[in-house]
Each structure stands twice: as structure tokens, then as C-alpha cells.
Structure 1
């Protein structure tokens, strides 16, 4: 039974670091998603205020 607990205590730090990494990446990606949505909403409001119907693509943008 000692081998089992040695294995558990050996793998626990790896699992915890992996979970911490996953959580940090999840927070970063979620924040980026919300920031992009807020910027899109702001840009749409500005386009509406200025009377521009579509977003202006930058030169070299593949959406041109």
C-alpha cells in the first residue's frame, strides 16, 4: 500500500501544476474573448455614429 501512496504523492504536483496552467489559460482566453466582443460593440457603435455601413479592412487584410 505504501507504493500506491508514493505514486499518488509523486503525481499530485504534476496534476496540480497542469490544472493551474489550464485555469490560467482559460482565464486569459475568456478575457480576450470578452475584450474582443466589447471592442466589436464599440466599433459598431462608432460606425453607426459616423454613418459607415461596413468595417474598413486594413491593407493586406485577407478579408479585402
Structure 2
């Protein structure tokens, strides 16, 4: 097995892994930004909607 064969065999898995990491990282960052914006909006309104209204 040559180096070229090894690279050709591993390239698809590495590519999918890189794409997966990029997508998950973007989702986590978007969630973090959304939570910050929600907290800021609640502070500006003077409300705290993080508690469950049923309890």
C-alpha cells in the first residue's frame, strides 16, 4: 500500500469530520449568540422568563 493509496482512503473520512466539526461549531456559536441576545432583551424589558411559570 503506497502513501497515495493511504491518503486517498483517508481523505473522505477526514473531509466529513472537518465538515462535521465546522457545522457543530457554528451551531454552538449561534446558540450562544441567541442566548446572549435573549438575556439582553429580557434585561431591557425588566423580565426574567427563564423560570418555569408553572412552579
Same fold (TM over 0.5): yes
Q: Residue in 1 aligned with 2:13?
A: 14
Higher RCO by CA contacts (8 Å cutoff, separation 6 or greater): 2
Residue 24 of structure 1 aligns to a residue whose secondary structure is helix
Task: Map residues 1-64 of structure 1 onto 2, 5 A cutoff.
Answer: 3-47=2-46, 55=48, 57-58=51-52, 59=54
Q: Root-mean-square deviation (CA), in Å?
A: 1.6
Gaps of 5+ in 2: none
**Cα distance between partner residues in 2 of 1:23 and 1:4:** 27
**Cα distance between partner residues in 2 of 1:10 and 1:34:** 38
Aligned residue pairs, count? 53
**Cα distance between partner residues in 1 of 2:16 and 2:28:** 18
Gaps of 5+ in 1: none
Larger Rg: 1
